[in-house]
Structure 1
């Protein structure tokens, strides 16, 4: 992709987010992360339909708020890009979005047990994570959010929260920055693990409303500390050698 109008530092963070979330077990061959364009708020950046482990800056595509590419591209597109466009349209405060199918989260998408905030780093989950069931509105589907109507319904279920679960599917996370959405994606999975482990020992005591209110938003120093750690653990490079060889010589 050309660098015209691209937020260079933001795209570098977006690429790093894919690498980190794969390393932390949130993304695997599936899932995607996007960034609202800070220069054009009605646009966002999302990679072409590749495994997150090989995504590079050259794979980023700029989309409009309708979920369609702003420039003609000859690259495969994610069918679920409408998840991102619908949430950006509904939530001006959201600057980055992650959709994933992490194994830590899935049990709460398959049962009546609610995902609740149980630790300091999970306070943003709130008193109960909302869950969206596509069948209630759309009947049987492919369990893929591939239409604007489905995506708008999902955005409505998210409301003003940071996290919405999707029955039989996974989760979508909204953040105020790439670093924020990575933090929330990882620590929602951690809280899910903590809760499942605690349930095996007996009743779980969730955070109180007051505790949630005081700890809901992770501060920038905490985000930066985590970002430094995750980058150090995940390493500076993303993508496999085959992907890099295939792309060599193309514009970044």
Structure 2
């Protein structure tokens, strides 16, 4: 692994992010997070195929924007690395991508009920989260294993995401993106919390969602403070090791 200071810092932060996502129930034994190479926007770093909670620096692999492992690395990679390559290739404003299967969020990809921001912490959800329907893109058979297992599906997922930062995958999970690892982790954690709150609120009556204006202003304010929860979460996982 290249030992450039910027790359070293990005990889170390990526390892911590894996542990935080597990600790915060944004991923479990499955799920992953990537980061764009700070020295080369056409490659990204992602762990080899291991559970997020046990990822170490030496587990990190480098890939091109077609999901091909670089540097002669022949270790087993995540089969769904194309989620990362698809979004990173098509969204130059995104530098980190997360994929997971958190249970609270899954119903919103199944029921026709849109996941929308119900409080300021999840304001990045905007006017509602799009849903990727793999049946519309799988060829030649619409029946699949639900995995984003090639670049065509990765590109299709990115197209469904559009200019937003979060996308649901029907019967599967979610993908979140941001311009930094810290912000991507923040978004994954609080999108899942939003799903839980929204589900509870809908049981009680009509839900008051954030207006587009409220969401935009709240996002600008709250995302200036993401270092605070990152400090909390990172110190917590370090103590757990």
Question: What TM-score results when the alignment is normalised by the length of structure 1?
Answer: 0.90
Match of 2:50 in 1: 50
Gaps of 5+ in 2: none
Shift of residue 5, structure 1, vs aligned partner: 8.0
CA gap of 1:190–1:214, structure 2 versus 1, over 3 A, is: same
Corresponding residue pairs, total:
238
More helix as a share of residues? 2
For 1:46-84, what per-residue CA distance to the aligned partner results, in whole angstroms no more than 9, with x for missing partners? 000000111011000011111101211231111111111
CA RMSD in angstroms, aligned pairs only: 1.5
Aligned counterparts, 1:54-93, within 5 A: 54-93=54-93
Shift of residue 219, structure 1, vs aligned partner: 5.0
Match of 1:149 in 2: 152
Aligned counterparts, 1:154-173, within 5 A: 154-173=157-176
Shift of residue 234, structure 1, vs aligned partner: 2.2
Match of 1:248 in 2: none
Of the three residues 177, 185, 196, the one matched with 1:174 is 177
SS for the counterpart of 2:226 is helix
Match of 2:101 in 1: 101
Shift of residue 200, structure 1, vs aligned partner: 1.1
Question: What TM-score results when the alignment is normalised by the length of structure 2?
Answer: 0.94
1:189 aligns with 2:221: no
CA gap of 1:212–1:44, structure 2 versus 1, over 3 A, is: same
Determine if contact 1:124/1:217 at 8 Å carries over to the other structure. Answer: no
Match of 1:38 in 2: 38
SS for the counterpart of 2:26 is coil
Shift of residue 217, structure 1, vs aligned partner: 4.1
Once residues 191 and 223 of structure 2 are traced to their aligned partners in structure 1, the CA distance between those partners, rounded to angstroms, is: 18
Determine if contact 2:82/2:149 at 8 Å carries over to the other structure. Answer: yes
Match of 2:212 in 1: 209
1:116 aligns with 2:116: yes
